[in-house]
Amino acid sequence: MQVTLKKSISNGSIDNVVVLCNSLSVLDNCPISNEEIKYIGDNLPSAGAKLYVFNRLGYFTMVCYYNSSDKALETHQTLRTEAKKLHGILVENNISEVSVVGSEGVSADDFLAYSEALILSSYTFDKYKTKKGAKLDNITLVSETIQQGDIDKLMNTCSSVFACRDWVNEPIAELNAETFANVLQEHCNGLEIKTTVLNQQQIEALGMGGILAVNKGSQDEARFVVLEWNPGNAVNTQPIALVGKGIMYDTGGLNIKTGTYMNDMKSDMAGAATVAATMVAVAKNKLPISVVALLPLTDNRPNGNAYAAGDIIRMYDKTTVEVINTDAEGRMVLADAIAYAQNYNPQLIIDVATLTGAAQNAIGKVGMVGMHRDAEQEMAELKNSGEQVYERIAEFPFWSEYDEWIKSDVADLRNTSKVPNAGMITAGKFLAHFAKSPFIHLDIAGVAFYNDNSTMYGVGGTAFGVRLLYNYLKNKCENK
């Protein structure tokens, strides 16, 4: 994707152009006729936005008219939705290049929200297709209020989102724990991200029983990846730790998944991909904040030596866990990573995971489930960032009663609840046991992978959470 910035566009342009405007008066200076302006005026949307398309028989001139709301965040989401519609029209008409013109009166934030969504909508995963479809390759942004630095930061974030989607969309046959660790090492090379990859023997030496237990049924070795971004001008003395679930493929283990539940399980490493992509965006845009990411990577297979219900596992921090269900493997690997994160004395731990079907059942595929312990202010800031980028968090309670549901009769904890309710909360409670620092748990099970093309996230891996975490960290820097 090539994105360039211009300050103006010729009125006689023969390019494919979309003019973003919120006032009819500015259209006099745009490449449309008086009759077309009158048509728009006679057909204005009562609310929201509307796209007007004028076919020039060789190129298109379009106008996206929107009503500015008192609530800027609602306006931004309206513009993102309209940008997705625009992308559909461009692809349908085999248009690979377009200019987006921000007319007078359009704020920089409105223009960037629309442009970002158009860029993100252009993502395709066609690596394995012999015949490629129509694709938007070049976008020219025309604005007097936007600076090149704004575009550079936007593209750095979008390219990180694209990387995350690529990683999630890759099949396990091409991207197992070892190859993903190598890909991350190569991707972070030159970004001043310190990358440490622990192999199977090192994981064993550390006594990471959760990762090792899940890995027992696999033909591939596990990996544990640590990414550190520690700039000299960091606003924090203690890092923020991001932990991502990296189950490269989940069969359910001996408690094997039934029906079609395995179809999208290459996406069970979306948490790790999200956290890694966030680190890349932070480094590319050189945010002055210290962050460490911890990624436990393995697949979960029902091999003859696989861990089984009834096993008791000794974790990295010496906690013992009774295995009730081998399909509750994500929390096993995350627990070791969260406990290991304490070595960095973090001010906050945030884990991101495709953890429970209960999360999706609770709120559907429109947002993520979140909960916290001793991190009320941080959760409020994270939820605010979620509203800003429209990757929203539904906060659930973390009451002490739930702790009783995960106590084992034969070990310290059990890996699933005694009670068949609130599974997303008890999973979070399990993880919170291993965190000594303030802790936030984000369950992205419903939003990590989509099977339809109705939003700017498209089909497949969504990278839902990358923009959220990046925005949260950026706000941390700006508010210091």
Give the pLDDT score at 50: 96
Give the pLDDT score at 20: 96
List the one residue out of 366, 373, 332 whose CA is nearest residue 350. 373
User: Do 152 and 269 form a contact (C-beta atoms < 8 A)?
Assistant: no
User: CA 8, CA 209: separation in Å to the nearest integer?
Assistant: 60
Give the pLDDT score at 8: 79
User: CA 1, CA 16: separation in Å to the nearest integer?
Assistant: 17
* Cα atoms found within 13 Å of the Cα of residue 217, Cβ hemisphere only: 23
User: CA 125, CA 461: separation in Å to the nearest integer?
Assistant: 9
Q: Which residues are catalytic?
A: 257, 331
User: Do 366 and 394 form a contact (C-beta atoms < 8 A)?
Assistant: no
Give the pLDDT score at 69: 75
User: CA 53, CA 12: separation in Å to the nearest integer?
Assistant: 17
Q: Where in the chain is the domain with CATH 3.40.630.10?
A: 157-478
Which of 3.40.50.10860, 3.90.420.10, 3.40.50.620, 3.40.220.10 is the CATH number of 2-143?
3.40.220.10
User: CA 52, CA 29: separation in Å to the nearest integer?
Assistant: 17
> Can you say how many angstroms the Cα of residue 200 is from the centroid of all Cα atoms in its chain?
28
Q: For domain 157-478, is the CATH number 3.40.630.10?
A: yes
pTM over 0.85: yes
Q: Where in the chain is the domain with CATH 3.40.220.10?
A: 2-143
Tens digit of each residue's pLDDT, the chain (480 residues): 899 999 876 655 568 999 999 999 999 888 889 999 999 999 999 999 999 999 999 899 999 999 987 788 999 999 999 999 999 999 999 999 999 999 999 999 999 999 999 999 999 999 999 998 889 999 999 999 999 999 999 999 999 999 999 999 999 999 999 999 999 999 999 899 999 999 999 999 999 999 999 999 999 999 999 999 999 999 999 999 999 999 999 999 999 999 999 999 999 999 999 999 999 999 999 999 999 999 999 999 999 999 999 999 999 999 999 999 999 999 999 999 999 999 999 999 999 999 999 999 999 999 999 999 999 999 999 999 999 999 999 999 999 999 999 999 999 999 999 999 999 999 999 999 999 999 999 999 999 999 999 999 999 999 999 999 999 999 999 987
Cα–Cα–Cα angle for 207, 183, 386, nearest 5°? 85
